[in-house]
Structure 1
Protein backbone atom coordinates (compact mmCIF):
# COMPACT_ATOMS: atom_id res chain seq x y z
CA UNK A 1 0.00 0.00 0.00
CA UNK A 2 1.18 3.56 -0.52
CA UNK A 3 1.74 5.21 2.83
CA UNK A 4 -0.85 7.86 2.09
CA UNK A 5 -3.65 5.50 1.10
CA UNK A 6 -5.46 2.80 3.06
CA UNK A 7 -4.38 -0.66 1.90
CA UNK A 8 -7.78 -2.31 1.52
CA UNK A 9 -7.10 -2.26 -2.22
CA UNK A 10 -4.02 -1.20 -4.13
CA UNK A 11 -5.62 0.06 -7.31
CA UNK A 12 -9.17 0.98 -6.29
CA UNK A 13 -9.59 4.07 -4.16
CA UNK A 14 -12.97 5.05 -2.81
CA UNK A 15 -14.34 8.51 -3.43
CA UNK A 16 -14.76 8.79 0.36
CA UNK A 17 -11.02 8.32 0.94
CA UNK A 18 -10.06 10.67 -1.89
CA UNK A 19 -12.39 13.34 -0.50
CA UNK A 20 -10.96 12.89 3.00
CA UNK A 21 -7.37 13.41 1.85
CA UNK A 22 -8.00 16.28 -0.58
CA UNK A 23 -7.60 19.21 1.88
CA UNK A 24 -4.29 17.80 3.15
CA UNK A 25 -3.11 17.22 -0.41
CA UNK A 26 -3.91 20.77 -1.47
CA UNK A 27 -2.23 22.28 1.60
CA UNK A 28 0.91 20.22 1.06
CA UNK A 29 1.49 20.92 -2.63
CA UNK A 30 4.29 23.27 -3.60
CA UNK A 31 2.79 26.47 -5.04
CA UNK A 32 6.05 27.55 -6.68
CA UNK A 33 6.20 24.47 -8.88
CA UNK A 34 2.60 25.04 -9.95
CA UNK A 35 3.47 28.64 -10.84
CA UNK A 36 6.55 27.48 -12.74
CA UNK A 37 4.42 25.00 -14.72
CA UNK A 38 1.97 27.78 -15.56
CA UNK A 39 4.77 30.05 -16.78
CA UNK A 40 6.22 27.22 -18.87
CA UNK A 41 2.84 26.72 -20.55
CA UNK A 42 2.58 30.46 -21.24
CA UNK A 43 6.03 30.48 -22.84
CA UNK A 44 5.22 27.36 -24.85
CA UNK A 45 2.08 29.00 -26.23
CA UNK A 46 4.07 32.13 -27.11
CA UNK A 47 6.55 30.08 -29.17
CA UNK A 48 3.68 28.37 -31.02
CA UNK A 49 1.65 31.27 -32.47
CA UNK A 50 -0.51 28.86 -34.42
CA UNK A 51 -2.19 27.99 -31.14
CA UNK A 52 -3.78 31.43 -31.15
CA UNK A 53 -5.99 30.47 -34.09
CA UNK A 54 -6.94 27.02 -32.85
CA UNK A 55 -10.22 26.38 -31.02
CA UNK A 56 -9.77 26.45 -27.27
CA UNK A 57 -10.19 22.70 -27.00
CA UNK A 58 -6.72 22.18 -28.48
CA UNK A 59 -4.88 24.72 -26.34
CA UNK A 60 -2.97 23.84 -23.19
CA UNK A 61 -3.85 20.18 -23.27
CA UNK A 62 -3.36 18.67 -19.82
CA UNK A 63 -3.48 14.90 -19.26
CA UNK A 64 -4.23 13.77 -15.70
CA UNK A 65 -3.08 10.19 -15.07
CA UNK A 66 -4.99 8.24 -12.42
CA UNK A 67 -7.24 11.25 -11.92
CA UNK A 68 -9.56 9.66 -9.36
CA UNK A 69 -12.44 12.00 -8.54
CA UNK A 70 -10.62 15.07 -9.87
CA UNK A 71 -8.67 16.48 -6.92
CA UNK A 72 -5.61 17.26 -9.05
CA UNK A 73 -7.78 19.05 -11.60
CA UNK A 74 -9.55 21.05 -8.88
CA UNK A 75 -6.19 22.21 -7.55
CA UNK A 76 -4.42 22.96 -10.83
CA UNK A 77 -7.01 24.31 -13.27
CA UNK A 78 -7.79 27.52 -11.33
CA UNK A 79 -4.04 28.16 -10.99
CA UNK A 80 -3.19 27.81 -14.68
CA UNK A 81 -3.82 30.58 -17.19
CA UNK A 82 -5.59 30.22 -20.50
CA UNK A 83 -8.22 27.93 -21.92
CA UNK A 84 -7.52 24.35 -20.96
CA UNK A 85 -8.39 20.97 -22.43
CA UNK A 86 -8.18 18.33 -19.71
CA UNK A 87 -8.02 14.63 -20.52
CA UNK A 88 -8.87 12.71 -17.37
CA UNK A 89 -7.62 9.12 -17.34
CA UNK A 90 -8.56 6.48 -14.79
CA UNK A 91 -9.56 2.82 -14.87
CA UNK A 92 -12.55 3.48 -12.56
CA UNK A 93 -15.68 4.64 -14.41
CA UNK A 94 -17.38 5.71 -11.18
CA UNK A 95 -14.52 8.02 -10.20
CA UNK A 96 -14.40 9.47 -13.72
CA UNK A 97 -18.10 10.29 -13.44
CA UNK A 98 -17.49 11.96 -10.07
CA UNK A 99 -14.64 14.00 -11.54
CA UNK A 100 -16.76 15.25 -14.42
CA UNK A 101 -19.69 16.12 -12.17
CA UNK A 102 -17.55 18.02 -9.67
CA UNK A 103 -15.28 19.82 -12.13
CA UNK A 104 -17.44 20.90 -15.07
CA UNK A 105 -17.94 24.42 -13.71
CA UNK A 106 -14.23 25.17 -13.13
CA UNK A 107 -12.53 28.11 -14.82
CA UNK A 108 -8.88 28.97 -15.41
CA UNK A 109 -6.88 31.53 -13.45
CA UNK A 110 -7.95 34.19 -15.97
CA UNK A 111 -11.58 33.12 -16.10
CA UNK A 112 -11.58 30.95 -19.22
CA UNK A 113 -13.63 27.74 -19.34
CA UNK A 114 -12.22 24.29 -18.72
CA UNK A 115 -13.11 21.60 -21.24
CA UNK A 116 -13.10 18.02 -19.97
CA UNK A 117 -12.90 14.63 -21.59
CA UNK A 118 -12.71 11.36 -19.69
CA UNK A 119 -11.01 8.14 -20.79
CA UNK A 120 -11.44 4.89 -18.90
CA UNK A 121 -8.02 3.36 -19.52
CA UNK A 122 -5.37 1.41 -17.70
CA UNK A 123 -2.18 3.35 -17.08
CA UNK A 124 -0.28 1.12 -19.52
CA UNK A 125 -2.78 1.95 -22.26
CA UNK A 126 -2.71 5.60 -21.23
CA UNK A 127 0.95 6.09 -21.98
CA UNK A 128 0.72 4.02 -25.13
CA UNK A 129 -2.21 5.95 -26.59
CA UNK A 130 -3.37 8.70 -24.22
CA UNK A 131 -0.65 11.36 -24.31
CA UNK A 132 -1.04 12.55 -27.89
CA UNK A 133 -0.98 16.34 -28.11
CA UNK A 134 -0.28 16.80 -24.41
CA UNK A 135 1.39 20.01 -23.29
CA UNK A 136 1.47 18.93 -19.64
CA UNK A 137 1.08 15.48 -18.08
CA UNK A 138 0.21 15.52 -14.42
CA UNK A 139 -0.61 13.08 -11.63
CA UNK A 140 -1.00 13.11 -7.88
CA UNK A 141 -0.10 10.41 -5.34
CA UNK A 142 0.25 7.76 -8.01
CA UNK A 143 3.71 6.46 -8.73
CA UNK A 144 4.61 4.55 -5.56
CA UNK A 145 2.20 1.86 -6.75
CA UNK A 146 4.04 1.28 -10.03
CA UNK A 147 7.07 -0.76 -11.02
CA UNK A 148 10.37 0.72 -12.13
CA UNK A 149 9.70 -0.53 -15.67
CA UNK A 150 6.32 1.19 -15.71
CA UNK A 151 7.93 4.49 -14.69
CA UNK A 152 10.43 4.16 -17.52
CA UNK A 153 7.65 3.43 -20.02
CA UNK A 154 5.74 6.47 -18.80
CA UNK A 155 8.83 8.70 -19.10
CA UNK A 156 9.41 7.41 -22.64
CA UNK A 157 5.83 8.30 -23.57
CA UNK A 158 6.20 11.81 -22.16
CA UNK A 159 9.44 12.29 -24.06
CA UNK A 160 7.80 11.21 -27.31
CA UNK A 161 4.99 13.68 -26.68
CA UNK A 162 7.42 16.51 -25.95
CA UNK A 163 5.34 17.53 -22.92
CA UNK A 164 6.26 18.79 -19.48
CA UNK A 165 5.28 16.83 -16.37
CA UNK A 166 4.06 17.96 -12.97
CA UNK A 167 3.80 15.08 -10.51
CA UNK A 168 2.60 15.90 -7.00
CA UNK A 169 2.65 14.08 -3.69
CA UNK A 170 4.85 11.09 -4.45
CA UNK A 171 5.58 9.42 -1.13
CA UNK A 172 9.25 9.46 -0.11
CA UNK A 173 9.08 6.97 2.78
CA UNK A 174 9.33 9.49 5.63
CA UNK A 175 6.87 8.95 8.49
CA UNK A 176 7.39 10.69 11.82
CA UNK A 177 5.36 11.44 14.91
CA UNK A 178 6.23 14.70 16.69
CA UNK A 179 5.57 15.85 20.22
CA UNK A 180 4.14 19.23 21.20
CA UNK A 181 7.59 20.86 20.96
CA UNK A 182 8.05 19.56 17.41
CA UNK A 183 10.67 16.99 18.35
CA UNK A 184 10.53 13.74 16.40
CA UNK A 185 9.51 10.60 18.30
CA UNK A 186 11.30 7.55 16.93
CA UNK A 187 11.77 4.59 19.24
CA UNK A 188 12.56 0.94 18.50
CA UNK A 189 8.92 0.08 17.80
CA UNK A 190 8.67 2.98 15.36
CA UNK A 191 11.78 1.80 13.53
CA UNK A 192 10.47 -1.73 13.35
CA UNK A 193 6.96 -0.80 12.16
CA UNK A 194 8.01 1.83 9.68
CA UNK A 195 10.60 -0.48 8.12
CA UNK A 196 7.85 -3.08 7.74
CA UNK A 197 5.55 -0.50 6.12
CA UNK A 198 8.25 0.40 3.63
CA UNK A 199 8.75 -3.25 2.78
CA UNK A 200 4.99 -3.63 2.33
CA UNK A 201 4.97 -0.73 -0.13
CA UNK A 202 7.49 -2.55 -2.33
CA UNK A 203 5.56 -5.79 -2.66
CA UNK A 204 4.58 -7.09 -6.08
CA UNK A 205 1.15 -5.80 -7.06
CA UNK A 206 1.29 -7.54 -10.43
CA UNK A 207 4.16 -7.13 -12.87
CA UNK A 208 6.98 -6.75 -10.37
CA UNK A 209 7.89 -4.98 -7.13
CA UNK A 210 6.43 -1.51 -6.67
CA UNK A 211 8.85 1.39 -6.25
CA UNK A 212 7.15 2.63 -3.07
CA UNK A 213 9.02 5.46 -1.40
CA UNK A 214 11.70 5.37 -4.10
CA UNK A 215 9.24 6.96 -6.54
CA UNK A 216 10.56 10.56 -6.23
CA UNK A 217 14.16 9.50 -6.86
CA UNK A 218 13.26 7.22 -9.75
CA UNK A 219 11.08 9.88 -11.39
CA UNK A 220 13.85 12.46 -11.07
CA UNK A 221 16.46 10.12 -12.53
CA UNK A 222 14.21 8.94 -15.36
CA UNK A 223 13.48 12.42 -16.64
CA UNK A 224 17.03 13.63 -16.05
CA UNK A 225 18.31 10.84 -18.30
CA UNK A 226 15.95 12.07 -21.00
CA UNK A 227 17.34 15.59 -20.92
CA UNK A 228 14.57 17.24 -18.95
CA UNK A 229 15.13 20.22 -16.68
CA UNK A 230 14.18 19.16 -13.16
CA UNK A 231 12.72 21.06 -10.23
CA UNK A 232 11.64 19.38 -7.01
CA UNK A 233 10.09 20.42 -3.71
CA UNK A 234 9.03 18.74 -0.50
CA UNK A 235 5.26 18.48 -0.01
CA UNK A 236 4.73 16.69 3.31
CA UNK A 237 1.42 16.10 4.99
CA UNK A 238 1.49 17.68 8.45
CA UNK A 239 -1.46 16.23 10.30
CA UNK A 240 -2.60 17.80 13.54
CA UNK A 241 -5.95 18.02 15.37
CA UNK A 242 -7.65 19.61 12.35
CA UNK A 243 -6.77 16.51 10.32
CA UNK A 244 -7.78 13.86 12.85
CA UNK A 245 -10.21 11.93 10.59
CA UNK A 246 -7.54 11.64 7.91
CA UNK A 247 -4.86 10.64 10.45
CA UNK A 248 -7.12 7.98 11.94
CA UNK A 249 -7.95 6.54 8.50
CA UNK A 250 -4.27 6.53 7.64
CA UNK A 251 -3.37 4.76 10.87
CA UNK A 252 -6.09 2.18 10.26
CA UNK A 253 -4.61 1.51 6.85
CA UNK A 254 -1.14 1.09 8.29
CA UNK A 255 -2.46 -1.32 10.91
CA UNK A 256 -4.03 -3.49 8.22
CA UNK A 257 -0.86 -3.41 6.13
CA UNK A 258 1.25 -4.42 9.13
CA UNK A 259 -1.13 -7.27 9.95
CA UNK A 260 -0.63 -8.52 6.40
CA UNK A 261 3.14 -8.10 6.48
CA UNK A 262 3.75 -9.24 10.08
CA UNK A 263 1.10 -11.89 10.81
CA UNK A 264 3.09 -13.21 13.77
CA UNK A 265 3.39 -9.77 15.34
CA UNK A 266 -0.28 -8.75 15.54
CA UNK A 267 -0.17 -7.92 19.25
CA UNK A 268 2.92 -5.74 18.85
CA UNK A 269 1.35 -4.02 15.85
CA UNK A 270 -1.87 -3.36 17.76
CA UNK A 271 0.00 -1.93 20.75
CA UNK A 272 2.03 0.39 18.52
CA UNK A 273 -1.07 1.47 16.62
CA UNK A 274 -3.13 2.00 19.79
CA UNK A 275 -0.43 4.05 21.51
CA UNK A 276 0.02 6.46 18.62
CA UNK A 277 -3.69 6.66 17.89
CA UNK A 278 -4.41 7.61 21.50
CA UNK A 279 -1.70 10.27 21.40
CA UNK A 280 -3.14 11.69 18.17
CA UNK A 281 -6.66 11.81 19.59
CA UNK A 282 -5.46 13.54 22.74
CA UNK A 283 -3.50 16.10 20.75
CA UNK A 284 -0.18 15.02 22.23
CA UNK A 285 1.45 14.29 18.87
CA UNK A 286 1.26 15.33 15.23
CA UNK A 287 2.07 13.19 12.22
CA UNK A 288 4.25 14.00 9.22
CA UNK A 289 4.07 11.90 6.04
CA UNK A 290 6.73 12.81 3.49
CA UNK A 291 5.96 13.49 -0.17
CA UNK A 292 7.75 15.27 -2.99
CA UNK A 293 6.56 17.22 -6.03
CA UNK A 294 8.38 17.16 -9.36
CA UNK A 295 8.28 19.51 -12.35
CA UNK A 296 10.23 18.33 -15.40
CA UNK A 297 10.32 20.37 -18.61
CA UNK A 298 11.80 19.19 -21.91
CA UNK A 299 14.95 20.81 -23.20
CA UNK A 300 13.22 21.70 -26.48
CA UNK A 301 9.84 23.13 -25.56
CA UNK A 302 9.08 24.70 -28.94
CA UNK A 303 8.37 21.59 -30.96
CA UNK A 304 5.84 19.15 -29.51
CA UNK A 305 7.03 15.64 -30.20
CA UNK A 306 10.68 16.67 -30.52
CA UNK A 307 13.24 14.62 -28.64
CA UNK A 308 13.81 16.27 -25.28
Structure 2
Protein backbone atom coordinates (compact mmCIF):
# COMPACT_ATOMS: atom_id res chain seq x y z
CA UNK A 1 0.00 0.00 0.00
CA UNK A 2 2.97 4.79 -0.89
CA UNK A 3 2.16 7.92 0.96
CA UNK A 4 -1.07 9.18 2.46
CA UNK A 5 -3.48 10.87 2.05
CA UNK A 6 -5.39 8.14 0.29
CA UNK A 7 -3.79 4.73 0.64
CA UNK A 8 -1.92 3.50 -2.40
CA UNK A 9 -4.65 1.77 -4.41
CA UNK A 10 -2.30 -1.06 -5.37
CA UNK A 11 -2.22 -2.04 -1.73
CA UNK A 12 -5.40 -0.41 -0.48
CA UNK A 13 -5.90 -3.12 2.11
CA UNK A 14 -2.54 -2.38 3.76
CA UNK A 15 0.62 -4.40 4.27
CA UNK A 16 4.23 -3.56 4.91
CA UNK A 17 5.72 -6.41 2.92
CA UNK A 18 7.48 -6.06 -0.41
CA UNK A 19 6.25 -8.92 -2.62
CA UNK A 20 8.60 -10.39 -5.18
CA UNK A 21 6.63 -9.27 -8.23
CA UNK A 22 7.02 -5.96 -10.10
CA UNK A 23 6.32 -2.58 -8.50
CA UNK A 24 6.38 -3.58 -4.82
CA UNK A 25 4.70 -1.01 -2.58
CA UNK A 26 4.54 -0.55 1.17
CA UNK A 27 2.08 0.79 3.69
CA UNK A 28 2.68 3.90 5.75
CA UNK A 29 2.53 4.06 9.56
CA UNK A 30 -0.29 6.64 9.32
CA UNK A 31 -2.46 4.34 7.21
CA UNK A 32 -1.79 1.35 9.46
CA UNK A 33 -2.66 3.40 12.55
CA UNK A 34 -5.86 4.66 10.93
CA UNK A 35 -7.11 1.17 10.14
CA UNK A 36 -5.91 -0.52 13.35
CA UNK A 37 -9.19 -0.29 15.25
CA UNK A 38 -11.27 -1.65 12.38
CA UNK A 39 -8.75 -4.44 11.85
CA UNK A 40 -8.84 -5.54 15.47
CA UNK A 41 -12.65 -5.54 15.54
CA UNK A 42 -12.75 -7.68 12.40
CA UNK A 43 -10.07 -10.31 13.08
CA UNK A 44 -11.25 -13.83 13.91
CA UNK A 45 -10.92 -14.59 17.60
CA UNK A 46 -12.35 -18.03 16.82
CA UNK A 47 -9.44 -18.92 14.54
CA UNK A 48 -6.97 -17.35 16.97
CA UNK A 49 -8.28 -19.71 19.67
CA UNK A 50 -7.94 -22.67 17.35
CA UNK A 51 -4.39 -21.63 16.53
CA UNK A 52 -3.63 -21.53 20.25
CA UNK A 53 -4.94 -25.09 20.63
CA UNK A 54 -2.47 -26.28 17.99
CA UNK A 55 0.66 -24.78 19.53
CA UNK A 56 3.16 -26.86 21.52
CA UNK A 57 1.95 -27.43 25.07
CA UNK A 58 5.34 -26.80 26.69
CA UNK A 59 8.37 -24.64 26.06
CA UNK A 60 8.93 -21.30 24.41
CA UNK A 61 7.14 -20.40 21.19
CA UNK A 62 8.75 -18.93 18.10
CA UNK A 63 6.24 -17.18 15.83
CA UNK A 64 6.97 -15.58 12.46
CA UNK A 65 4.85 -12.66 11.21
CA UNK A 66 5.02 -11.79 7.50
CA UNK A 67 4.50 -8.22 6.33
CA UNK A 68 4.60 -7.04 9.93
CA UNK A 69 4.39 -3.30 9.27
CA UNK A 70 4.09 -1.63 12.66
CA UNK A 71 3.29 -4.91 14.45
CA UNK A 72 -0.51 -4.75 14.63
CA UNK A 73 -0.99 -8.50 14.22
CA UNK A 74 1.46 -9.19 17.04
CA UNK A 75 -0.20 -6.67 19.35
CA UNK A 76 -3.58 -8.30 18.77
CA UNK A 77 -2.59 -11.96 18.80
CA UNK A 78 0.22 -12.29 21.36
CA UNK A 79 -2.05 -11.69 24.40
CA UNK A 80 -4.27 -14.57 23.22
CA UNK A 81 -1.45 -17.12 23.09
CA UNK A 82 0.62 -18.85 25.79
CA UNK A 83 4.28 -18.09 26.26
CA UNK A 84 7.08 -17.43 26.50
CA UNK A 85 6.93 -16.00 22.98
CA UNK A 86 9.60 -14.85 20.54
CA UNK A 87 8.28 -13.08 17.45
CA UNK A 88 10.25 -12.79 14.21
CA UNK A 89 8.97 -9.84 12.17
CA UNK A 90 9.45 -10.06 8.39
CA UNK A 91 9.08 -6.98 6.20
CA UNK A 92 10.38 -5.63 2.93
CA UNK A 93 10.52 -2.07 4.30
CA UNK A 94 13.14 -1.57 7.01
CA UNK A 95 11.83 1.92 7.76
CA UNK A 96 8.35 0.85 8.75
CA UNK A 97 9.64 -1.58 11.38
CA UNK A 98 11.11 1.43 13.19
CA UNK A 99 7.49 2.29 14.03
CA UNK A 100 6.73 -1.14 15.54
CA UNK A 101 6.00 -0.47 19.21
CA UNK A 102 5.82 -3.85 20.94
CA UNK A 103 7.50 -2.96 24.23
CA UNK A 104 4.28 -3.27 26.23
CA UNK A 105 2.97 -6.44 24.59
CA UNK A 106 2.51 -9.41 26.94
CA UNK A 107 1.60 -13.02 26.33
CA UNK A 108 -1.52 -14.64 27.81
CA UNK A 109 0.32 -15.22 31.09
CA UNK A 110 1.54 -11.64 31.39
CA UNK A 111 5.14 -12.16 30.28
CA UNK A 112 6.79 -9.70 27.85
CA UNK A 113 7.44 -11.00 24.37
CA UNK A 114 10.84 -11.06 22.64
CA UNK A 115 11.14 -9.60 19.13
CA UNK A 116 13.59 -10.10 16.25
CA UNK A 117 13.38 -8.66 12.71
CA UNK A 118 14.24 -9.87 9.23
CA UNK A 119 14.25 -7.56 6.20
CA UNK A 120 13.72 -8.78 2.65
CA UNK A 121 11.22 -9.43 -0.15
CA UNK A 122 9.23 -12.63 -0.29
CA UNK A 123 11.17 -13.57 -3.41
CA UNK A 124 14.14 -14.17 -1.12
CA UNK A 125 12.18 -16.42 1.27
CA UNK A 126 14.13 -19.66 1.68
CA UNK A 127 12.38 -23.06 1.85
CA UNK A 128 13.61 -23.49 5.42
CA UNK A 129 12.75 -19.92 6.49
CA UNK A 130 10.43 -21.15 9.25
CA UNK A 131 12.47 -24.14 10.45
CA UNK A 132 11.83 -24.70 14.15
CA UNK A 133 8.97 -22.20 14.27
CA UNK A 134 5.78 -22.77 16.24
CA UNK A 135 3.45 -20.83 13.92
CA UNK A 136 3.26 -18.32 11.07
CA UNK A 137 0.98 -15.28 10.97
CA UNK A 138 0.27 -12.51 8.49
CA UNK A 139 -2.29 -9.74 8.13
CA UNK A 140 -3.67 -7.99 5.04
CA UNK A 141 -1.05 -9.75 2.95
CA UNK A 142 -2.38 -12.55 0.75
CA UNK A 143 -4.25 -10.35 -1.74
CA UNK A 144 -1.08 -8.44 -2.72
CA UNK A 145 0.93 -11.63 -3.34
CA UNK A 146 1.68 -13.27 -6.66
CA UNK A 147 0.97 -16.96 -7.14
CA UNK A 148 4.69 -17.65 -6.86
CA UNK A 149 4.83 -15.77 -3.55
CA UNK A 150 1.91 -17.76 -2.17
CA UNK A 151 3.39 -21.06 -3.33
CA UNK A 152 6.71 -20.16 -1.69
CA UNK A 153 5.02 -19.35 1.64
CA UNK A 154 2.93 -22.53 1.63
CA UNK A 155 5.96 -24.67 0.78
CA UNK A 156 7.92 -23.14 3.68
CA UNK A 157 4.97 -23.73 6.05
CA UNK A 158 4.64 -27.35 4.97
CA UNK A 159 8.38 -27.88 5.37
CA UNK A 160 8.23 -26.48 8.91
CA UNK A 161 5.07 -28.43 9.78
CA UNK A 162 3.57 -25.57 11.80
CA UNK A 163 0.14 -23.91 11.67
CA UNK A 164 -0.43 -20.64 9.82
CA UNK A 165 -3.00 -17.90 10.44
CA UNK A 166 -3.61 -15.34 7.68
CA UNK A 167 -5.81 -12.44 8.75
CA UNK A 168 -7.86 -9.87 6.81
CA UNK A 169 -7.59 -10.92 3.17
CA UNK A 170 -9.95 -8.99 0.91
CA UNK A 171 -12.48 -11.09 -0.99
CA UNK A 172 -13.97 -8.61 -3.46
CA UNK A 173 -17.13 -7.78 -1.51
CA UNK A 174 -17.97 -4.13 -0.83
CA UNK A 175 -21.31 -2.68 0.30
CA UNK A 176 -21.73 1.10 0.48
CA UNK A 177 -24.58 3.07 2.00
CA UNK A 178 -26.20 4.99 0.55
CA UNK A 179 -25.73 3.00 -2.67
CA UNK A 180 -25.35 4.41 -6.17
CA UNK A 181 -25.96 2.75 -9.57
CA UNK A 182 -22.19 2.83 -10.20
CA UNK A 183 -21.03 0.79 -7.20
CA UNK A 184 -20.95 -2.65 -8.83
CA UNK A 185 -18.97 -1.39 -11.84
CA UNK A 186 -16.50 0.47 -9.62
CA UNK A 187 -16.06 -2.61 -7.42
CA UNK A 188 -15.35 -4.81 -10.45
CA UNK A 189 -12.76 -2.33 -11.70
CA UNK A 190 -11.08 -2.25 -8.29
CA UNK A 191 -10.94 -6.06 -8.20
CA UNK A 192 -9.33 -6.10 -11.64
CA UNK A 193 -6.82 -3.50 -10.44
CA UNK A 194 -5.89 -5.74 -7.52
CA UNK A 195 -5.10 -8.54 -9.95
CA UNK A 196 -2.63 -6.40 -11.91
CA UNK A 197 1.00 -7.48 -12.10
CA UNK A 198 -0.09 -11.05 -11.42
CA UNK A 199 -1.30 -10.42 -7.89
CA UNK A 200 -3.93 -12.68 -6.36
CA UNK A 201 -6.32 -9.91 -5.27
CA UNK A 202 -9.75 -11.26 -4.29
CA UNK A 203 -8.78 -14.75 -5.49
CA UNK A 204 -6.21 -15.13 -2.71
CA UNK A 205 -8.22 -17.07 -0.11
CA UNK A 206 -9.38 -19.90 -2.41
CA UNK A 207 -5.94 -20.07 -4.04
CA UNK A 208 -3.95 -20.48 -0.84
CA UNK A 209 -6.60 -22.76 0.66
CA UNK A 210 -6.25 -25.06 -2.34
CA UNK A 211 -2.46 -25.07 -1.98
CA UNK A 212 -2.68 -26.18 1.64
CA UNK A 213 -5.40 -28.73 0.86
CA UNK A 214 -3.25 -30.19 -1.93
CA UNK A 215 -0.50 -30.70 0.67
CA UNK A 216 -2.96 -32.68 2.81
CA UNK A 217 -3.44 -29.91 5.37
CA UNK A 218 -6.61 -28.83 7.17
CA UNK A 219 -8.01 -25.40 6.31
CA UNK A 220 -10.65 -23.30 8.05
CA UNK A 221 -11.85 -19.84 7.11
CA UNK A 222 -13.87 -17.17 8.88
CA UNK A 223 -15.64 -14.08 7.54
CA UNK A 224 -13.96 -10.99 9.00
CA UNK A 225 -15.47 -7.91 7.32
CA UNK A 226 -14.78 -4.33 8.19
CA UNK A 227 -18.08 -2.79 9.35
CA UNK A 228 -17.47 0.94 9.28
CA UNK A 229 -19.91 3.58 10.47
CA UNK A 230 -20.06 7.14 11.74
CA UNK A 231 -17.22 6.66 14.22
CA UNK A 232 -14.95 5.54 11.36
CA UNK A 233 -15.39 8.60 9.12
CA UNK A 234 -11.63 9.33 8.70
CA UNK A 235 -10.97 5.70 7.73
CA UNK A 236 -13.94 5.62 5.36
CA UNK A 237 -12.71 8.79 3.64
CA UNK A 238 -9.17 7.46 3.11
CA UNK A 239 -10.34 4.00 2.08
CA UNK A 240 -12.89 5.41 -0.38
CA UNK A 241 -10.30 7.64 -2.04
CA UNK A 242 -7.96 4.70 -2.55
CA UNK A 243 -10.75 2.43 -3.76
CA UNK A 244 -12.02 4.93 -6.31
CA UNK A 245 -8.55 5.96 -7.48
CA UNK A 246 -7.69 2.33 -8.18
CA UNK A 247 -10.96 1.76 -10.06
CA UNK A 248 -10.36 4.80 -12.27
CA UNK A 249 -6.74 3.85 -12.88
CA UNK A 250 -7.98 0.48 -14.09
CA UNK A 251 -10.84 1.93 -16.15
CA UNK A 252 -10.43 5.67 -16.85
CA UNK A 253 -13.91 5.83 -18.38
CA UNK A 254 -15.27 5.45 -14.83
CA UNK A 255 -14.00 8.88 -13.78
CA UNK A 256 -17.49 10.41 -13.87
CA UNK A 257 -18.92 7.47 -11.93
CA UNK A 258 -16.21 7.88 -9.29
CA UNK A 259 -16.94 11.59 -9.03
CA UNK A 260 -20.64 10.85 -8.57
CA UNK A 261 -19.81 8.26 -5.93
CA UNK A 262 -17.75 10.82 -3.99
CA UNK A 263 -20.50 13.42 -4.30
CA UNK A 264 -23.06 10.95 -2.94
CA UNK A 265 -21.11 10.51 0.29
CA UNK A 266 -20.77 7.33 2.32
CA UNK A 267 -22.36 6.85 5.74
CA UNK A 268 -21.25 3.28 6.24
CA UNK A 269 -19.32 0.61 4.40
CA UNK A 270 -18.78 -3.13 4.68
CA UNK A 271 -15.53 -4.40 3.19
CA UNK A 272 -15.38 -8.17 2.95
CA UNK A 273 -12.37 -10.05 4.33
CA UNK A 274 -11.65 -13.62 5.32
CA UNK A 275 -9.20 -15.09 7.82
CA UNK A 276 -7.57 -18.43 7.02
CA UNK A 277 -6.11 -21.01 9.42
CA UNK A 278 -4.14 -23.95 8.01
CA UNK A 279 -2.49 -26.77 9.95
CA UNK A 280 -1.03 -30.22 9.26
Q: Distance in 2 between matches of 1:129 and 1:91?
A: 18
Corresponding position of 2:27: 13
TM-score (norm 1): 0.81
More deviation in 108-117 or 253-262? 253-262
Deviation of residue 5 (structure 1)?
4.2
SS of 1:103 mapped into structure 2: coil
Q: Distance in 2 between matches of 1:248 and 1:129?
A: 42
- For residues 17-72 of structure 1, the C-alpha deviation after alignment (integer angstroms, 9 at most, x for no partner) is 0010110000001111111111111xx335xxxx4xxxxxxx21100000001000
Runs of 4+ in 1 over 6 A off after TM superposition: none
1:127, 1:154 within 8 Å by CA — same for their partners in 2?
A: no
1:116 matches 2:130: no
Deviation of residue 233 (structure 1)?
0.5
Deviation of residue 178 (structure 1)?
3.8
User: Unaligned stretches of 5+ in structure 1?
Assistant: 52-58, 180-184, 299-308
Deviation of residue 191 (structure 1)?
1.5
Cα RMSD of the aligned pairs, angstroms, is 1.8
TM-score (norm 2): 0.89
- Map 1:163-242 onto structure 2 (within 5 A): 163-178=162-177, 185=179, 188-204=181-197, 209-242=198-231
Q: Distance in 2 between matches of 1:96 and 1:129?
A: 23
Deviation of residue 82 (structure 1)?
1.4
Q: Distance in 2 between matches of 1:223 and 1:129?
A: 17
User: Unaligned stretches of 5+ in structure 2?
Assistant: 1-9, 16-22
- For residues 172-215 of structure 1, the C-alpha deviation after alignment (integer angstroms, 9 at most, x for no partner) is 11001145xxxxx4x541111111111111001xxxx1110011
Q: Distance in 2 between matches of 1:235 and 1:94?
A: 29
2:186, 2:254 within 8 Å by CA — same for their partners in 1?
A: no
Q: Which has the higher helix share?
A: 1
SS of 2:69 mapped into structure 1: coil
Corresponding position of 1:302: none
1:2, 1:212 within 8 Å by CA — same for their partners in 2?
A: no
SS of 2:272 mapped into structure 1: strand
SS of 2:132 mapped into structure 1: coil
Corresponding position of 1:104: 103
Q: Distance in 1 between matches of 2:225 and 2:249?
A: 26
1:297 matches 2:279: yes
1:104, 1:116 within 8 Å by CA — same for their partners in 2?
A: no
The count of corresponding residues between Structure 1 and Structure 2 is: 264
Corresponding position of 1:259: 248
Corresponding position of 2:138: 139
